[in-house]
Amino acid sequence: MQLEPKWKSLIVQSEDPVFTPEQCLDIIKTGRSQEKETAKLIKDNGTVNTEIRTSNISWIPFDKLTPMYKRLKDYIHAVNNNHFGYEGVCLNEMAQYTEYSEGCFYDWHMDSAFSGEKQPPVRKISMTCLLSHESEFEGGYLQLINEKSSIKLKQGHAIFFSSFLRHRVTPIKSGNRKSLVVWFGGPSFR
């Protein structure tokens, strides 16, 4: 990944896997066992906007996969302390299991809302962890900030980035990309 120096402090990629292949399979199994829904972005007129996002998701409740949630809490504590330094970061939203099949994508967006309303906790750090083996699909690159920053993660590896950064997942050319998306929030930025 090639980024300008000004962005490097806002993006951290794991050098080692966050989850083993066996743990990834367990997360996939649990994600698939939860109620599946089509990921939706709603237009102002109330219709679904398929021009920005097409994928299937499910939510992993906190009482499922306790070891996964413990690992995520420990990991984000270290990543935040060593790289971001954001105040009060914690895991306060359920993890999202996401599947992108052929043709699915998620166009440019940010995970933090800047609506002007007070709505703590604010999403501060976003994480994407690749659960499927990287050979199981083509395309589906995570891009941060611009088209030049394509990231192809390896199975079990994750990338952590400030939730206010623009990012997207490019269309899947073939196969099925399975990932775990988690947001870590805290009090409003100062």
158 in any annotated domain? yes
133 in any annotated domain? yes
26 in any annotated domain? yes
**Could you tell me the residue range of the domain that residue 51 belongs to?**
10-186
Closest CA to 95 of 81, 117, 75: 75
Task: Answer whether 182's CB lies under 8 Å from 92's CB.
Answer: no
Q: Pull the structure tokens for residue 20.
A: 């083993």
Q: How many domains does the chain have?
A: 1
pLDDT of 1: 47
Q: What single string gives the DSSP state of each residue in 44-57?
A: TTS-B-TTTEE-EE
3 in any annotated domain? no
- Neighbouring CB atoms inside 10 A of 104's CB total 20
pLDDT of 151: 87
Quick one: average pLDDT of 153-178? 95
Quick one: average pLDDT of 119-132? 89
pLDDT of 27: 98
5 in any annotated domain? no
2 in any annotated domain? no
DSSP secondary structure letter of residue 25: H
Residue with token string 């306790």: 66
pLDDT band at 2 (very low <50, low <70, confident <90, very high): very low
73 in any annotated domain? yes
pLDDT tens digit sequence for 69-97 = 999 999 999 999 999 999 999 999 999 99
pLDDT tens digit sequence for 28-48 = 999 999 999 888 776 667 776
Task: Enter the pTM of the model.
Answer: 0.88
1 in any annotated domain? no
The more confident residue out of 61 and 1 is: 61
CATH number, domain of 38, equals 2.60.120.620
pLDDT tens digit sequence for 96-105 = 999 999 999 9
pLDDT of 38: 86
